Structure 1
Amino acid sequence: MKRLIVIMLLFCASITTAQEASITNINIEGLKRTDEGFLRRLIKVKPASMYDSIKIATDVEKLNRLPGIAKATSKLEKDASGNYQLTYEIVEAFTIIPGVRIATDNNDEFSYRLSAFEFNLFGKNQLIGGFYQNDEFNSYGFFWEAPYLFTNKFGFGVNYQNNVNQEPVFFPEQELNYRFDSKAFEVLFTYEFNFYHNAQIGAIISKEEYSFLPEQSEGDLPADKPANLSADRITFRGEYEYNDIDIDYQYVSGFRTLLDVRLVSGDESEAFLDSFFIGRNDFEYFQRVGEKGNWANRLRVAYASNNDNPFAPFTLDNQLNIRGVGNTVDRGTAALTLNTEYRHTFIEKGWFVLQGNAFIDAGTWRNPGQDISQLFDGTSTRLYPGLGVRFIHKRIFNAVFRLDYGFGVGDDATQGLVFGIGQYF
């Protein structure tokens, strides 16, 4: 009996000791460009806090989500007093990223986009950069975002974009081409509620102009169609994200949902540029398959209230939703798209990864003026299976060079090559 009592007392003492074990010191190793004070402000575990394995794991996941970090791990060492020395070991990512995108425009002529972004400005994982684009016309934009500018939860961003391009507008009886000129300035605030939930609110002040392009359209402008449209707009935007994603270099697992809602004011005197509402939600699910496989899925649901407007907000396009379909093929006021693909690592040597993928992209649209039932009756459904390859630099942020080829299924379906930087989703 005495032996049993002694064993129980020792067991209880060991539990108490484990529960009272604290983190006496926190080290962060491997930093070159990232500001150590910035990381210490972000992590939840603090010196002299009680040992909590869940908090440590959460910190590691949070660090792995930062653009400036390619890989973060933790190491625990117990000292003579029974407490812990905690070390976060960091492999930094190279974050000054140039970008080049080359394609054919709507007139089968050469177009390109040049960009440069720094994702770890001042070592605080701020974004700054801009782009220049020539796609029939010249466009440019500048961006600055600091998600942890004020506190470890509260941030700020601004951007300005002057986009000028040729927009095919799909009226029921014909397609007409317009020059679309949009000058937009946006201010946004970001807030991180906790590790999983964050939000953005912002306002965009813009001026939009449409001008008919007779040289790019088949036939003359019908009398009932506008030659010129313009409107000063204010858009109020809200975004909510639930993020439970675990990143291990090229491998991703977990679930993420992103909701984007916008209230767009318009000019009620312009028949096609009145006020409307836009809502879009992306559901993403990723799962590791064995040692080298990754299954990735995205379901996008989108709706706009301006159903009687041929200048519809959602575009069917290679780079946005369905690979192989072409450049600005159609427009809609509601959409359902599903992208699913299997990614497999064939070669992994140090910093370099060669990855292949097989995908299926599918979607359906509601054309302007149609009922919501068009999403389900098959008249606007697109199905594109395909194959692709990825060249990945593990220690450069978002350095995924992708090449995909989509094959259309059905009558009059197209097929084509799609190049880009970053995973498709």
Structure 2
Amino acid sequence: MKYIKVIAFLLFITLSNAQENRVTQVIINGNKRTKTPFLKKLAFVKSGSILDTTRIASDVRRLKLLPSVANVEYSLENKEDGYHLTYTIVENFAIIPGFNIATDNNNELAYRFSVFDFNFLGRNQLIGGYYSRDVFNSYGAFWEAPNLFSRKFGIGANYQNIVSQEPVFFDNNQDVNYKFSTKAFQISLMYEPNFNNRFELGLNISNEDYKFLEGNLPQGTPSELGANKVAIVGEYEYNNINIFYQYLEGFRSLFTYRFVTGSTGQNDLLTNFFIGRNDFEYFKRIGAKGNWANRLRLAYASNDDTPFAPFAVDNQLNLRGVGNTIDRGTASIVLNTEYRHTLYEKGWFVLQSNAFLDAGTWRNPSGNLNELIDGSTLRVYPGLGIRFIHKRIFNAVFRIDYGIGIGDKATNGIVFGIGQYF
């Protein structure tokens, strides 16, 4: 009987300690539009979970990655029945209109209107579309629900009708302008095993057409090309970035690919191909107001002998100040590095300065990979910029950059945009 009492006492102590070290209630405050059940579904820590501050910190980081969330803090209260965990949300405004102005390939005005809701139905689904005028009219519509089926599984779909004037660069160094038209529908499955890793696999069905507009067309080159294509597309993202409003710290890798499994066309210039691109990003906090940001972009296409090369040298994509689609290539290495410094911050508003260096090399169509390292295609553009940031609106960063080219035939120019460059 004595031993039974000792065992019962030890069991009582063990159960009491276990109860004291458990989270018995999870509370979410501060969210207005974002649904509380949706946020609780994403969190690892549930009511009844063993208290683990590491897992709580993981939840904070995961919730900060949501477009609808600007910041998250947590608190713990030790109650008689266990710990009460409270996540306090600072919510973003997530219905974002967009309006971009640029110069098109005819040196005339190009513009793009868009509106996207990044917190559709209060569940961080994306829905929206755009209309653009860049010599010709284009439009597109998008819907993504990354957590539609469960915390890990979702789906996305989009349709785009893109018509543009595309400069094509042949061996005679003469620019030839084509009217490029593509109608494409894509559906994708999304899988997120944890907040660091995300996979996406999709099927893209498209029709592409090139029609000659103007220029010195090489002999034997067709004036019209067309193809119906079916492609496997996808992404893999590793994200270990900590976010605190305009400041980022950590590492991110984003691999995107497109493998065309079938196409029918009238010419060998539009053939089956593979495109792969990986962005490596690294961010480092410098003091209280500084942020060092870096992106290394590696890209490769297997259709290396076509003048219709997939990778453009362009202001908005890789080199600030270079101009609007001044060249194309079938492989590339691009490095963007910049130092961002907060000049003024009060309430929701941030004024941020920016000093950057953009550099890149390309493999020309029908060229070889040595062009990436021999310096023959190297372009270097240092520059300065400024950012106007709204801390309570998702991705509300209006940027102005001025890039200065180094070397022969280099250009200078101003680049406007919405969102950080990377």
By the TM > 0.5 criterion, same fold? yes
User: 1:19 & 1:263 partners in 2: Cα distance?
Assistant: 53
Residue of structure 2 equivalent to 1:294: 291
Q: Select which of 355, 358, 366 maps to 1:361.
A: 358
Q: Map Cα deviations across residues 113-167 of structure 1 (whole Å, 9 max, x no partner).
A: 1100000000000000000001110000000000000000000010000000000
TM superposition shift of 1:319 = 0.5
Residue of structure 1 equivalent to 2:98: 99
TM superposition shift of 1:20 = 5.5
Q: Once superposed, what is the RMSD of the aligned Cα atoms?
A: 1.4
1:19, 1:51 within 8 Å by CA — same for their partners in 2? no
Residue of structure 1 equivalent to 2:186: 186
Residue of structure 1 equivalent to 2:230: 234
Q: Identify if the C-alpha distance between structure 1 residues 315 and 19 changes in structure 2 by more than 3 Å, giving closer, same or farther.
A: farther
TM superposition shift of 1:224 = 1.2
- SS class of match (1:213): strand
Residue of structure 1 equivalent to 2:161: 162
Residue of structure 2 equivalent to 1:5: none
TM superposition shift of 1:412 = 1.0
1:246, 1:253 within 8 Å by CA — same for their partners in 2? yes
TM superposition shift of 1:222 = 3.4
User: 2:359 & 2:17 partners in 1: Cα distance?
Assistant: 57
1:254, 1:285 within 8 Å by CA — same for their partners in 2? yes
- SS class of match (1:60): helix
Residue of structure 1 equivalent to 2:333: 336
Paired AA for residue 128 in structure 2: G
Q: Select which of 395, 402, 406 maps to 1:405.
A: 402
Residue of structure 1 equivalent to 2:56: 56
TM superposition shift of 1:79 = 1.6
User: 2:238 & 2:288 partners in 1: Cα distance?
Assistant: 27
User: 1:106 & 1:195 partners in 2: Cα distance?
Assistant: 41
- SS class of match (1:39): helix
| Uncovered stretches (5+) of structure 1, i.e. residues with no partner | 1-12
User: 1:266 & 1:321 partners in 2: Cα distance?
Assistant: 29
TM superposition shift of 1:80 = 3.7
Residue of structure 1 equivalent to 2:8: none
User: Equivalences for 1:383-402 in 2 at 5 Å?
Assistant: 383-402=380-399
1:267, 1:275 within 8 Å by CA — same for their partners in 2? no
User: 1:223 & 1:31 partners in 2: Cα distance?
Assistant: 64
Residue of structure 2 equivalent to 1:254: 250
1:268, 1:275 within 8 Å by CA — same for their partners in 2? no
TM superposition shift of 1:237 = 0.8
User: Equivalences for 1:140-289 in 2 at 5 Å?
Assistant: 140-173=139-172, 174-214=174-214, 217=215, 219=216, 221-264=217-260, 265-267=262-264, 269-289=266-286
- SS class of match (2:133): strand
| TM-score normalised to structure 1 length | 0.94
Instruction: Provide the identity percentage.
Output: 60
2:236, 2:256 within 8 Å by CA — same for their partners in 1? yes
User: 2:382 & 2:42 partners in 1: Cα distance?
Assistant: 42
Paired AA for residue 118 in structure 2: F
User: 2:195 & 2:108 partners in 1: Cα distance?
Assistant: 46
2:28, 2:36 within 8 Å by CA — same for their partners in 1? yes
Residue of structure 2 equivalent to 1:419: 416
TM superposition shift of 1:238 = 2.1
TM superposition shift of 1:110 = 0.9
Paired AA for residue 208 in structure 2: E
Q: Which moved more, 1:18-27 or 1:136-145?
A: 18-27
User: 1:407 & 1:282 partners in 2: Cα distance?
Assistant: 24
Q: Which moved more, 1:16-25 or 1:332-341?
A: 16-25
Paired AA for residue 59 in structure 1: D
User: 2:97 & 2:197 partners in 1: Cα distance?
Assistant: 30
User: 2:334 & 2:421 partners in 1: Cα distance?
Assistant: 13
TM superposition shift of 1:269 = 4.3
User: 1:146 & 1:230 partners in 2: Cα distance?
Assistant: 33
TM superposition shift of 1:267 = 2.6
Q: Map Cα deviations across residues 216-258 of structure 1 (whole Å, 9 max, x no partner).
A: x2x4x33311100000011101211111011100000000001
User: 1:198 & 1:271 partners in 2: Cα distance?
Assistant: 36
TM superposition shift of 1:169 = 0.1
- SS class of match (1:319): coil
1:257, 1:283 within 8 Å by CA — same for their partners in 2? yes
TM superposition shift of 1:107 = 1.1
User: 1:178 & 1:338 partners in 2: Cα distance?
Assistant: 30
Q: Map Cα deviations across residues 282-322 of structure 1 (whole Å, 9 max, x no partner).
A: 10000100000000000000000111100001111000011
Q: Map Cα deviations across residues 338-380 of structure 1 (whole Å, 9 max, x no partner).
A: 0000000011100000000100000000001111000011110
Q: Identify if the C-alpha distance between structure 1 residues 249 and 224 changes in structure 2 by more than 3 Å, giving closer, same or farther.
A: same
1:20, 1:50 within 8 Å by CA — same for their partners in 2? no
User: 1:396 & 1:367 partners in 2: Cα distance?
Assistant: 41
- SS class of match (1:245): strand
User: 1:146 & 1:262 partners in 2: Cα distance?
Assistant: 21
Count of matched residue pairs: 407
Paired AA for residue 394 in structure 2: F
Paired AA for residue 404 in structure 1: D
1:294, 1:342 within 8 Å by CA — same for their partners in 2? yes
Q: Which moved more, 1:148-157 or 1:268-277?
A: 268-277
| TM-score normalised to structure 2 length | 0.94
Paired AA for residue 143 in structure 1: F
2:382, 2:404 within 8 Å by CA — same for their partners in 1? yes
User: 1:129 & 1:245 partners in 2: Cα distance?
Assistant: 26
Q: Map Cα deviations across residues 87-131 of structure 1 (whole Å, 9 max, x no partner).
A: 000011001100011011111111111100000000000000000
User: 2:407 & 2:34 partners in 1: Cα distance?
Assistant: 51
